[in-house]
Amino acid sequence: MASAGVAPSGYKNSSSTSIGVEKLQDQMNEIKIRDDKEVEATIINGKGTETGHIIVTTTGGKNGQPKQTVSYMAERIVGQGSFGIVFQAKCLETGETVAIKKVLQDKRYKNRELQTMRLLDHPNVVALKHCFFSTTEKDELYLNLVLEYVPETVHRVVKHHNKMNQRMPLIYVKLYMYQICRALAYIHGTIGVCHRDIKPQNLLVNPHTHQLKLCDFGSAKVLVKGEPNISYICSRYYRAPELIFGATEYTTAIDIWSAGCVLAELMLGQPLFPGESGVDQLVEIIKVLGTPTREEIKCMNPNYTEFKFPQIKAHPWHKVFHKRMPPEAVDLVSRLLQYSPNLRCTAVEALVHPFFDELRDPNTRLPNGRFLPPLFNFKAHGSVAADLQRAELPTPNRMPLGKYYCDYCDKQFQDTPAARRRHLQGVQHQRARALWYDSIRHQEQHGGASSLLLPDGTLAKGICHHFVRTGACKYGDSCRYFHPKPDGVNPALAAPGPGSGPGPMVQQSDFIGNQPNFVGYQGADRNSSSGNILGVHSSWGNLPPSLQPPPEGGYPPLPFIDWG
């Protein structure tokens, strides 16, 4: 550990010996060091602006290395808070610009941030260059961490785009988020550290190369299973729900939640969950994710049993973001922001998500034509590289989006909001769904679910899905599967007569949460027994969610179109 001293006025010889212990003022935001009048620089403190100040420290002296004198000229404050102060400085020997974080140090304990920073070595984590202690006239001890200086933060980049009334280019969203995941994969997997304060203000960005670095490890900790931790941690907008529920045995998944909040903020231009208090923060989360189930609450905090909240349905993710937002981006957010910590994808799993496929294209460039910063040099970090190898990176689409199977159409397709919406609103799906229920009613009319009778009176093996999808079957009447008739029960498929167009339709969530769903005509008595879907069809047994029955009376009439 180096000592620190104050350079006298007119100090020029950088090779001289250490001058003594630095004496600072009582206020942490007042760095009162003797001025070097020959240097044209200023430092801003609580009482105004003063000219440049010089801090002289010594380094080396271990393992036979000679001691060296290093002097830093303070230039300006770049951040301050309850933790202490961060100011920009310049090393007079090398001309390098650095950031010095000055925090009050309890003499009884080691500084956890210093212990953590000494372990870190990653291109997406801010580097510790040097550290030294300083004291005040009241014998207060301060730790000074000399860090590499990165001029911008993700927070200021988002504010800049908002000020320009622009959305952040998607390539930057991908680039920043990928580097966040790289940093988390490193500290979680290689070092075993949980950051516990992921937020845009702690994500530094080089505005020229767009390389991102994670900073501020003042809240970071190695989480040991079975050992309690404080739950009042992490900035509110980015606080994981298990912390709000008071969990003390949480995991690094709280960083994953915070990263999901950052991704959503990059996409929206504003925080996704802007709670004004701890309770309000939970309300904001429930507005989007819906009320957590008992199982989800148990996963977040097994000791929490007093949760009582109105049952609110989850808001569809594709409605949270702009309609032009790629479904891969929405899918990644949904994987990061899960109530159950064990259901959130890990940082390594996020790295192989299809949302980042563009970054793996060697022809991808920044909007200004420059190359991307280094993103795939994982060899130096063994555990992350091994995890990625198991995840089969960089082959694209190794974590495919979910597959959606439509029971009515007997068809499987990629489950994205746009694809699902197109399918569910398509004529083919509406016809197949109505025909499926016709067959169910036909079963009831002929003695139950086991009675699918063919024209010759024999029992069918089941419903002919090919006929349901296409309206035709190459086997014709000899097919041993049941062919439901479109004009049998449900009038929704009949050709409309004169003046029989559809009435005004109402979009409403049904009892299983399918939204939107055309549930009938405006003005119908929804409180009557005929509108009780669950009661009317209770004899049908437990159908899959996608096969829950339609409202009594069927769907609004559709124009008759030949099957094709």
Q: CA-to-CA distance for 242 and 229, rounded, in angstroms?
A: 12
**Closest listed residue to residue 524, CA positions, set 510, 538, 505, 502:** 505
Is residue 107 helix, strand or coil? coil
- pLDDT for position 385: 58
**Choice between 496 and 237, residue whose per-residue pLDDT is larger:** 237
Q: How many CB atoms lie within 10 A of CB 147?
A: 21
**Choice between 57 and 487, residue whose per-residue pLDDT is larger:** 57
- pLDDT for position 54: 84
**Choice between 11 and 313, residue whose per-residue pLDDT is larger:** 313
**Choice between 480 and 261, residue whose per-residue pLDDT is larger:** 261
Q: What is the pLDDT averaged over residues 516-520? A: 33
Query: Binding site for ATP: what residues are annotated?
Result: 102
Q: CA-to-CA distance for 287 and 317, rounded, in angstroms?
A: 11
Catalytic annotation, residues:
197
The predicted-structure confidence for 68-117, as pLDDT tens digits, reads as follows 888 898 888 888 877 789 999 999 988 999 999 999 888 777 889 999 99
Residue 490 has pLDDT above 80, yes or no: no
User: What is the average pLDDT score of the chain?
Assistant: 73
Residue 352 has pLDDT above 90, yes or no: yes
The predicted-structure confidence for 182-200, as pLDDT tens digits, reads as follows 999 999 998 899 999 999 9
Assign 420 a pLDDT band (cuts: 50, 70, 90): low
In Å, what is the CA distance from 445 to each residue of 54, 183, 371, 550?
Answer: 93, 63, 69, 18
Residue 482 has pLDDT above 80, yes or no: no
Q: What is the pLDDT averaged over residues 281-296? A: 92
Q: CA-to-CA distance for 336 and 328, rounded, in angstroms?
A: 12
The predicted-structure confidence for 424-467, as pLDDT tens digits, reads as follows 767 777 777 666 556 555 554 554 444 455 666 566 656 676 77
Q: 4-148: which CATH number, 3.40.605.10, 3.30.70.20, 3.30.565.10, 3.30.200.20? A: 3.30.200.20
- pLDDT for position 53: 79
Query: Binding site: what residues are annotated?
Result: 102
The predicted-structure confidence for 161-175, as pLDDT tens digits, reads as follows 999 999 999 999 999
- pLDDT for position 323: 86
- pLDDT for position 282: 92
Lowest mean pLDDT, pick from 28-37, 66-75, 307-316, 357-366: 28-37
Residue with tokens 């003695």: 447
- pLDDT for position 483: 75
% of the chain surpassing 70 pLDDT: 60
Q: CA-to-CA distance for 100 and 147, rounded, in angstroms?
A: 6
Q: What is the pLDDT averaged over residues 263-290? A: 93
**Choice between 366 and 404, residue whose per-residue pLDDT is larger:** 366
Is residue 89 helix, strand or coil? strand
Q: What is the pLDDT averaged over residues 270-298? A: 92
Residue 308 has pLDDT above 80, yes or no: no
The predicted-structure confidence for 138-164, as pLDDT tens digits, reads as follows 888 889 999 999 999 999 999 999 999
The predicted-structure confidence for 524-536, as pLDDT tens digits, reads as follows 333 333 333 333 3
**Choice between 305 and 405, residue whose per-residue pLDDT is larger:** 305
Domain locations in the chain as residue ranges: 4-148, 152-390, 423-547
Task: Name 153's bridge partners.
Answer: 204
Assign 287 a pLDDT band (cuts: 50, 70, 90): very high
| Max avg pLDDT among 6-20, 315-329, 540-554 | 315-329
Q: Which residues in 12-157 belong to E strands, given as ranges?
A: 23-24, 42-45, 48-51, 53-59, 68-81, 84-91, 97-104, 128-136, 141-148, 152-153
Residue 55 has pLDDT above 90, yes or no: no
Residue 231 has pLDDT above 70, yes or no: yes
Lowest mean pLDDT, pick from 184-193, 325-334, 362-371, 425-434: 425-434
Residue 503 has pLDDT above 90, yes or no: no
**Choice between 61 and 375, residue whose per-residue pLDDT is larger:** 375
**Choice between 391 and 505, residue whose per-residue pLDDT is larger:** 391
**Choice between 308 and 9, residue whose per-residue pLDDT is larger:** 308
Residue with tokens 């079975």: 226
Looking at domain 152-390, its CATH architecture is Orthogonal Bundle (1.10)
Assign 239 a pLDDT band (cuts: 50, 70, 90): very high
- DSSP letters for 207-223: TTT--EEE---TT-EE-
Cα atoms in the Cβ-side hemisphere of radius 13 Å centred on 316: 15
Token pair belonging to 442: 């036909």
Residue 488 has pLDDT above 60, yes or no: no
Residue 560 has pLDDT above 60, yes or no: no
- pLDDT for position 461: 59
- pLDDT for position 341: 95
